[in-house]
Amino acid sequence: MNRRPQHSSAYLEVTIIAHKEGQDLPTKFKYKKRNEREKPMALDVLLQAQENQLPDLAFRYGCRARNCGVCTIDINGKPRIACRAVVRDGDELKAMSTLPAITDLVVRRDQISRQLKGKIYEGGRKNDLNVEASEDYHELTSCIECYACLDNCPMHEKNFSETEKDPDYFQWGNPFSLLKLQTIASDPISTVARKEAAVTEALNLGLETCVSCPGCKCGVGIDLKGKVIKPLLQTSKLVD
Amino acid sequence: MNIDLEWRNFDVLVIGSGGAGTNAAETAAKAGASVLLVAKDPLSASDTKISEGIATVRASGSEDDTEEVLSENLKIAGSDLPVEEITSAFAKDSQTAYDKYRENGLRPEISSITKGPNSLPLPMGGHTRRRSVGHKNSGLAFGHANWNAIVKENKIEYLEDCWVIDLVTSEYDDNRRTVEGAIIYDAQKGKLLAICAPSVVMAAGGLSTLYFPKTDTMRGNTGDSYAIAARAGAELVDMEQTQFLPFCLTSPPSFEGLLGGEPVTASYLGVLRDKNKKVILDGVYLRTRAECSAAIMKAVEDGRGTPNGGAYLDMRANKRAPKSGTYFMKFLKNSLPSAYNNVRQAMNKKEAQCDELWEVRPSAHYMMGGIRVDANGKSIADKNSNNGVQGLYAAGQAMGGLFGANRLGSTSLTEGAVFGSRAGLAAALYSRNFNNKKINKDLFFKEAYKLDDLLGQKGTKHASQLKIQVQKECWNNLGPIRDKKRLKKTQKFISRCRKDLKKIQIRKNLLWNQSLIEYLELVNMIDTAELMTYAALERDGSVGGHVRADCKDISIFSKPYSTIVKVRKSHIEVSKIDRKRTELKKLVEFKFKEQKRFLEAKLLRLLPMRLKDAIIEKRYKKIMGSKEQAPPLEPGSIEAAVGDQRVS
Ligand SMILES: Cc1cc2nc3c(=O)[nH]c(=O)nc-3n(C[C@H](O)[C@H](O)[C@H](O)COP(=O)(O)OP(=O)(O)OC[C@H]3O[C@@H](n4cnc5c(N)ncnc54)[C@H](O)[C@@H]3O)c2cc1C
Ligand code: SF4
Ligand code: SF4
Ligand code: FES
């Protein structure tokens, strides 16, 4: 195990960058450790900041246990799941850069789900329900929808070169949406038509971008490259 | 007025995108209704999504698990507070309702014997049959199913980041009210919505955030369901019945309150000990959550609590047994994977391996009481079932009457599907009577003006900080152990809080105004807590999730009753309603069997090691097939996650 040097101090200083009406306002915050051995998570820091210094600070969280997927923020420019990301002295906490910021650390999220609205139609038949799904299927449903995978996705980036500033849904896809589509494609109760529709939809979202992309990375360790992108590229015949 | 209202019309408004809300929306839409589903959290982010993902499916473990058996099991476990009509509905629909999650992508392991969903190897604490079906990726699998249900077709409109502030109702005679719609704060768009809908399904979850951080639930459980419904005139039932999960973590701080295990986790030889290591509860794996929590809190009250105000869960004996010990660890990891994951991250190696004691403390988990409804989720009141709030339906944790004094593990995901579907259908059918209903806009404006006054309110206090005070108060005085003095104290505290509400600073802007959000939730927390104190004072005896240190236990053989609370113009009304007691013969039989199991468990524990080891090994072998082995690396586990590490 790699041990980092212990912080001897009773405090930890971080910078919280709040988004306010289009501007980024940094605030220094000194986190008081609750015991000397504590290695607080980013969420602990935000909660204490709200309690002691920034009472109206806006940030998302839910479960505190890396399950609900809503607390993702950028720490030093990289997406991290705030409730399970250990914070170090000097860290910078900010809204996720890959989605439009609303207030402080809160970003708008629903443009992602809306891009699949009405597009994953029912396809299972009731009498097929007693079949087991593959391990790959289950790996995909371990997605917590944290959107950490949007980071550095060239397909997702295309959304921001469009003219419309804040559309209802994103036109271009992202690893999460492709994961949802591949889940349908690998669901044992999906009909052939439904599987094909899922792949067509992936193409509509811009799957060809993946051909020349080094691949995406998931915040909870799902093998996106191997279990989402590769099978989609193969079924869509974009690669052999 | 400074705020513009955005007007929309729907047949059915569903509040909440957990299991209950999703099933309600899907069923209502299938019945032809135009549906709007709103949630304050992102789509499908809810208790349902973060749950252990274990669902009750009748007869999944044994053929003799009839509807009567299941319904009676719930009723007796709830100390006869549950309403028979509602427990029967649960038993009747559990399989078909579960299949709705499957139609949306939930894929359980299939048993080679029953050819249906495979149930966990042991009945969960308090269940008389094996009927709890676990799932890969726990609640996330349910979260995806719910997400799919809403997104897959164009039928259901949904909005996230929307806080329902209040229902809009009209009064038709003497305190009887009809739903007209709701006023909703859309934080994402910075708008106020006036949603006109003849029926509303309340599925906005529970109230465990009253006890934060001593809870394992989502932050949004601020009692909104109950407070909003009560302000609209609905009756609430059994509001003293908070479920505390007994085995939650006490430290480190980031993990405080999270789930460590369930009674079943303790397996055949686990016991609870006080700070002096004296056994305070035996046969833990057979006990209900309420029994375990009460045992811990009574020891704490007695001054025998552990340093963090809990008790020790001792599972060393399971582990030490030479042969069966290896099965035990497998059992522990497989039966509750995400709880065990919490343990592995929060505790040291020896503890995680069960070679040392776990310090555990109850955490708020679920409200068993809730909006008083019939078996179709329709709000009811008085003796006459037509006297509830017309057009109001409730499902999931928001409703009461299903679990009474104790909820058995794994029943709530099923509850969401059963009553979500029933309420959704009932709401859709009800709304058919209101085609082209004339809208009385003034009623909406009246609610909206209140908000107009709040925006820009000047003051020195902050709602987010007052919330923390409320949470401390609730844990100390309205928590897992209560008495009259403490409850009265809480009532005084609440009236002081109400005065403070006027001193809270609220910003003026509408776009994601956190000070407004905190304020709205604070009010719901206070309203809910107050209603709870009335119910808790009315119930002057301990039963289930309500433990009174100053009163005797209420015997299961005494005449059962439920408490009812409701808000009237200037005061809160509290009353009792009789419940039907299970036939004496059945109760005696149930109790006798239960005592027999406890005794057997105790005797087994006291047998010489060689003997008990052999017996237990046989049992594990029987309950754990070859399929039960954990995969080497589970996605979502700490080993797989980037940026995660052990904390202590
Ligand atoms: C850690 C954990 C493990 C659990 N494990 C299990 C298990 O294994 N088996 C089981 O059966 N049960 C389990 N439960 C219990 C079960 O998950 C919940 O009781 C159940 O999911 C509640 O479902 P619901 O639909 O009623 O509410 P929720 O799923 O909590 O959904 C509430 C919804 O209401 C919305 N909402 C709240 N207030 C407002 C408002 N004012 N305006 C708009 N929207 C609002 C929220 O955003 C959310 O969408 C567990 C719970 C937890 C916390
Ligand atoms: S695929 Fe991974 S990173 Fe992307 S949303 Fe899902 S869990 Fe998060
Ligand atoms: S492989 Fe495709 S989805 Fe993944 S990051 Fe690259 S472009 Fe985005
Ligand atoms: S708070 Fe739920 S994932 Fe972080």
DSSP-derived pairing of the beta strands B392-394 and B199-202: parallel
Q: Which residue has the higher pLDDT, B357 or B594?
A: B357
Mean pLDDT of chain B: 92
Q: Which residues of B touch A60 (CB under 8 A)?
A: 42
Q: Which residue has the higher pLDDT, B632 or B369?
A: B369
Cβ of B307 under 8 Å from any chain A Cβ? no
Report the pLDDT value the prediction gives residue B556, as an integer from 0 to 100: 86
Report the pLDDT value the prediction gives residue B335, as an integer from 0 to 100: 76
pLDDT in tens, B428-476: 999 999 987 788 999 999 999 999 899 999 999 999 999 999 999 999 9
List chain A domain ranges.
Answer: 11-107, 110-235
- Across B604-608, average pLDDT: 93
**Which of A104, A136, A142 to probe by mutation at the B interface, max B CB count within 10 Å?**
A142
Cβ of A139 under 8 Å from any chain B Cβ? yes
A143: CA distance to ligand 4 center in Å? Answer: 13
Q: How confident is the model at residue B647 (pLDDT cuts 50, 70, 90)?
A: very low
Report the pLDDT value the prediction gives residue B497, as an integer from 0 to 100: 97
Q: How far is CA B495 from the centre of its chain?
A: 27
Which H/E stretch holds residue B316? helix B316-320
Mean pLDDT of chain A: 93
Atom of ligand 1 nearest to the CA of B228: 41
Report the pLDDT value the prediction gives residue A165, as an integer from 0 to 100: 73
B218: CA distance to ligand 4 center in Å? Answer: 9
Report the pLDDT value the prediction gives residue B569, as an integer from 0 to 100: 83
Contacts of residue B116, Cβ cutoff 8 Å, sequence gap at least 6: A130, B57, B60, B110
Report the pLDDT value the prediction gives residue B210, as an integer from 0 to 100: 98
Check A104 against B188: CB less than 8 A apart: no
- Best CA proximity match to B444, nearest among B102, B119, B612, B192: B192
Report the pLDDT value the prediction gives residue B632, as an integer from 0 to 100: 37
- Across A205-215, average pLDDT: 96
Residue B638 has pLDDT above 80, yes or no: no
Report d(CA B514, CA B510) in Å as an integer: 9
% pLDDT > 70, chain A: 93
Q: Which residue has the higher pLDDT, A31 or B435?
A: A31
Q: Which residues is A94 bridged to in the sheet?
A: A17, A74
- Across B282-302, average pLDDT: 92
**Which of B114, B119, B219, B508 to probe by mutation at the A interface, max A CB count within 10 Å?**
B219
Residue B634 has pLDDT above 70, yes or no: no
Report the pLDDT value the prediction gives residue B318, as an integer from 0 to 100: 94
Contacts of residue A212, Cβ cutoff 8 Å, sequence gap at least 6: none
Using the 8-state DSSP alphabet, how is residue B570 labeled?
A: S
Report d(CA B277, CA B261) in Å as an integer: 19
| CATH architecture of the domain covering B1-239+368-582 | 3-Layer(bba) Sandwich (3.50)
Report d(CA B328, CA B314) in Å as an integer: 13
Q: Which residues of A touch B631 (CB under 8 A)?
A: 135
- Across B468-496, average pLDDT: 98
- Across B191-201, average pLDDT: 97
Report d(CA B415, CA B129) in Å as an integer: 18
B183 lines ligand 1 (CB under 6 A): no
B7: CA distance to ligand 4 center in Å? Answer: 33
- Across A199-225, average pLDDT: 96
How many A×B Cβ pairs under 8 Å? 194
Of B203-217, B423-437, B616-630, which gets the smallest average pLDDT? B616-630
Check A220 against B143: CB less than 8 A apart: no
Residue B629 has pLDDT above 70, yes or no: no
Q: How confident is the model at residue B147 (pLDDT cuts 50, 70, 90)?
A: very high
Q: Are B51 and B44 in contact (CB under 8 A)?
A: no
- Between vectors from CA A223 to CA A222 and to CA A228, what angle results, nearest 5°? 105
Check A69 against B102: CB less than 8 A apart: no
Q: Are B218 and A68 in contact (CB under 8 A)?
A: yes
- Across B602-621, average pLDDT: 92
Report the pLDDT value the prediction gives residue B1, as an integer from 0 to 100: 65
Cβ of A77 under 8 Å from any chain B Cβ? no
Check B154 against A117: CB less than 8 A apart: yes
Residue A206 has pLDDT above 80, yes or no: yes
Tokens of B261: 């295990």
Across the interface, of B41, B463, B636, the residue whose CB is closest to A142 is B636
Q: Which CATH homologous superfamily contains domain A11-107? A: Beta-grasp domain (3.10.20.30)
Check B43 against A110: CB less than 8 A apart: yes
Q: How confident is the model at residue B625 (pLDDT cuts 50, 70, 90)?
A: low
- Across A110-139, average pLDDT: 86
Report the pLDDT value the prediction gives residue B547, as an integer from 0 to 100: 95
- Across B150-175, average pLDDT: 93
Report the pLDDT value the prediction gives residue B637, as an integer from 0 to 100: 43
Residue B387 has pLDDT above 90, yes or no: no
Check A34 against B116: CB less than 8 A apart: no
Atom of ligand 4 nearest to the CA of A82: 4
Cβ of A222 under 8 Å from any chain B Cβ? yes
Q: Which residues of A touch B218 (CB under 8 A)?
A: 62-63, 68
Residue B365 has pLDDT above 80, yes or no: yes
- Across A15-30, average pLDDT: 96
Q: How confident is the model at residue B126 (pLDDT cuts 50, 70, 90)?
A: confident
List chain B domain ranges.
Answer: 1-239+368-582, 242-365+588-644
Across the interface, of B50, B187, B631, the residue whose CB is closest to A65 is B50
- Across B180-185, average pLDDT: 98
Report d(CA A143, CA B300) in Å as an integer: 40
Q: Which residue has the higher pLDDT, A24 or A120?
A: A24
ipTM: 0.96
- Across B521-534, average pLDDT: 98
Report the pLDDT value the prediction gives residue A221, as an integer from 0 to 100: 95
- Across B174-184, average pLDDT: 91
DSSP result, B183-238: EEEETTTTEEEEEE-SEEEE-----GGGGTTSB-S-TT-SSHHHHHHHHTT--EE-
Residue B494 has pLDDT above 50, yes or no: yes
**Which of A189, A220, A223 to probe by mutation at the B interface, max B CB count within 10 Å?**
A220
**Cα Rg of chain A (Å, integer):** 20
- Across A119-136, average pLDDT: 79
Contacts of residue A100, Cβ cutoff 8 Å, sequence gap at least 6: A107, A108, A111, A166
Report the pLDDT value the prediction gives residue A127, as an integer from 0 to 100: 59
Check B513 against A103: CB less than 8 A apart: yes
Among 1.10.287, 1.10.1060, 3.40.30, 1.10.260, what is the CATH number of A110-235?
1.10.1060
Of A26-30, B192-196, B274-278, B323-327, which gets the smallest average pLDDT? B323-327
Atom of ligand 4 nearest to the CA of A146: 3
Name the closest-CA residue to atom 4, ligand 3: A216
Q: Which residues of A touch B213 (CB under 8 A)?
A: 64
**SS3 for A143?**
coil
Check B643 against A81: CB less than 8 A apart: yes
Report the pLDDT value the prediction gives residue B411, as an integer from 0 to 100: 96
Side-chain-facing half-sphere of B346: CA atoms under 13 Å:
25
Residue B623 has pLDDT above 90, yes or no: no
Report the pLDDT value the prediction gives residue A123, as an integer from 0 to 100: 58
Tokens 């995660």, located at residue: B644
Contacts of residue B191, Cβ cutoff 8 Å, sequence gap at least 6: B4, B6, B510
Q: Which residue has the higher pLDDT, B331 or B108?
A: B108
A14 lines ligand 3 (CB under 6 A): no
Contacts of residue B335, Cβ cutoff 8 Å, sequence gap at least 6: B120, B121, B122, B134, B262, B264, B265
What's the gap in Å between the CA of B588 and the closest CA on chain A?
39
- Best CA proximity match to B157, nearest among B26, B8, B36, B31: B36
Q: How confident is the model at residue B648 (pLDDT cuts 50, 70, 90)?
A: very low
Pocket probe mutation, ligand 3, options A155, A158, A236, max atoms within 8 Å of Cβ = A155
B87 lines ligand 1 (CB under 6 A): no
Report the pLDDT value the prediction gives residue B627, as an integer from 0 to 100: 46
Atom of ligand 4 nearest to the CA of A84: 4
Q: How confident is the model at residue B2 (pLDDT cuts 50, 70, 90)?
A: low
List of long-range contacts for B340-344, beta carbons under 8 Å, 24+ apart: B340/B261, B341/B637, B341/B638, B342/A65, B342/B249, B342/B255, B342/B258, B342/B259, B342/B260, B343/B249, B343/B260, B343/B261, B344/B638, B344/B646
B153: CA distance to ligand 4 center in Å? Answer: 28
Q: How far is CA B239 from the centre of its chain?
A: 12
- Across B543-567, average pLDDT: 94
**SS3 for B118?**
coil
The phi, psi pair for B482, rounded to 5°, reads -135, 160
Report the pLDDT value the prediction gives residue B639, as an integer from 0 to 100: 44
Residue B646 has pLDDT above 70, yes or no: no
**Which of A16, A45, A108, A145 to probe by mutation at the B interface, max B CB count within 10 Å?**
A145
Report the pLDDT value the prediction gives residue B633, as an integer from 0 to 100: 38
Q: How confident is the model at residue B570 (pLDDT cuts 50, 70, 90)?
A: confident
A143 lines ligand 4 (CB under 6 A): no
Q: Are A95 and A19 in contact (CB under 8 A)?
A: yes
Q: Which residues of B touch A219 (CB under 8 A)?
A: 641-643
What's the gap in Å between the CA of B455 and the closest CA on chain A?
14
A205 lines ligand 3 (CB under 6 A): no
A232 lines ligand 2 (CB under 6 A): no
